[in-house]
Structure 1
Amino acid sequence: MALTMTDVDRFESSRPRLEAIAYRLLGSASEAEDAVQETYLRWQATDTDRIEVPEAWLTKVLTNLCLNQLTSARARRETYVGEWLPEPLLAGDPMLGPADSAERRESVSYAVLALLERLTPSERAVYVLREAFDYPHREIAGILDLTEAASQQIFHRAKKHVAEGRARAEVDEAAARRIIEEFLAAATSGRTEPLVRLLTEDAVAVGDGGGKVPARARAFEGAVAVATFMRGLFKPGPAQRALAGGPVDLYITSANGGPALVAVVGGRVFGVMCLEITDEGIAAFRNQVNPDKLERATRQWAATDHGTPLLRLF
């Protein structure tokens, strides 16, 4: 069915919100774009004159497409090579969506997106719609074909799971930058002790290479293990340079609203390391090096000016 310009405009005005919802649900920008495009095709095929509230209709279609995707993704991730981490989005990416409240900023943080992987698809959907986009439970119930009471119960359960994984308070941006600079100085010193002092006792380091870039199949756990790994990761050597394909420029920036190190090789984003920095120290390093999950970051990086790198490795 041919859409009128009004129908097209109505969809396009909803696209940023739909993409932001889909990204939070799927943890993948490319899959979010595909889900939004499929929503458009369904919008195109329906009789839009019979749709009383287009925003609600589009959100329902998109959310259910994402739920189907999440169900199949669980099976695919069982065969995924190594750890699976979300696709990071650099500062300014419109898919990050609204950031006008602490809840909305928190909902797209890399740490929370990683925690959302522990939720069931329905828990994730209710959490995202309520916490990130402030949908009332009455509307969420209609979107997911639940009762309002069930939506409330699912949300409280999901929020509890997320809160349990986010027990520490994070530091502000200025403090985070100072700690990252201290971390880089310690990591390139060749010594483990100064690194250990910057970490929490239960610090973890996780890498996602997707089977295309070497990354440990399991996370490093504990301050000493993480510090030892970081010391080796930042140690100059022919193996590291061969893996990267050239000198690596490091920049401190923001990804998913939180502190991050971006590694750039010849203008291409080679890795994005998201750091979880708390008032007790660095609690987690989540390092995305799967090239399939860095294409969008590379495009965005090329379109903006970043000045000189903080550090050049190898």
Structure 2
Amino acid sequence: MRCHRLSLQNPKRNQKVSLSDTYPLINNFYDYIRRASQWAPSRGPMGASLPRDVCNIDESPLSYISNKRFATVILTIFGSDNTRVGPVLISKGKEQASSIEKLQYANGVKVYFTPKAVNNRITMDKYMEYWMPKVNDKNPKLFISDSSNTHFDHQSIRLLRKKQIVVAIIPKGCTMYIQALDVYVFSIFKKHYYDCSEEYIEKACGRLNVKLTASKSRVLCTRLTLIAWKRTLSSIDFSKSFREIGYTWADHVTPIKLHTLPGYMYDPSDCNLTCSIEENEIDFSISSKIAKKQLKLTDFR
């Protein structure tokens, strides 16, 4: 990989919270997702949600071949059925790619453009518009994200909640321990991506300097990303990973022990199920709307 100068561009994860502060933060996170499971009619051991309704989203930088340009890849993973939402790439530039270029993108890979090829609130709103139709089956969803201010703000979280999508924010400084994408996925995905890049370069007669236009680089990136994503889906047991990290559960007694944080244990039997005032207000509003909707004659036809 070095001979072809492919930059790994791994995100930097610096410890910002002391371990003494990390434990209660993680406990609060697990308490919250357990409370959220009670905000709609129960459908199984996890309450309102099934493993396929629980997802984790995050982004990471991804390099192109042969130059310093890079993209950002957004991945979304679920406790099961990970074929619904494919990778999303954010490339540098204005959103004016030609129709010819778009036709060459890998099927199943969405491409957005921003000035610096990084995520922002506008792009995140576009992503949610792309995401919702792909997963909408009228059942509640648990959407797990880190605390980046480019993902959600207070207003967007409330709006999603009214659509039966609960956003659970991983506390700052805790992603390295309880973000499934960081723990299980990104390193494997990037290994597959760079393996695919190497394979492409070898097929291109092993040239050390593969020169591509910006347009061709984007097209190639979508194709390498799709192949890497398919290999990643075959490499990871997502159902097992979500149980291990505590996003899903089969009962309310089995403790969560994180291999990323030796010595830590979450006991669900001690879970704090008391909702905050804000949680109660939102839940009451949604419950009222559901109750009113159930009274409509059209709902019984």
Place the TM-score, normalised by the shorter chain, in its bin: under 0.3
- Where relative contact order (Cα < 8 A, 6+ residues apart) is larger, the structure is 2
Q: TM-score, normalization: structure 2?
A: 0.27
Larger fraction in helix: 1
